Amino acid sequence: MVLKITNYSQDLLSALDQLDRWPEKVRLMQKNWIGRSEGLLLRFALDPKTVPTTESELEVFTTRPDTLFGAKFMAVAPIIYSPSRPRRK
């Protein structure tokens, strides 16, 4: 079983507001640590001539979609999860 804290991020953030005896500085640090981000998932089409797998898209998350207008390329780390390749444990 995998326990993903991100599944509970909204509950954790909401509960922080009820901790009125905690200093504001500590609550802010906790909010930043939980790190829930608002943004968009985007899919970029891949050129089949340059992709070593059968992937056709690259999905990315961004909190700043306004900066994507001028995107010319994307760099991908060599150790990346791919639906066609299972994750290492």
Model pLDDT for residues 37-88, shown as the tens digit of each residue: 778 888 888 888 888 778 888 888 888 888 888 888 877 776 655 566 555 5
Q: Is the pLDDT of residue 6 over 90?
A: no
Model pLDDT for residues 12-39, shown as the tens digit of each residue: 888 988 998 999 999 999 888 887 777 8
Q: Is the pTM of this model over 0.85?
A: no
Cα–Cα distance, 16 to 14 (Å, whole number): 5
- As a residue count, the chain comes to 89
| Predicted local distance difference test score (pLDDT) of residue 31 | 87
What are all long-range contacts of 23-26, with beta carbons under 8 Å and residues at least 24 apart?
none
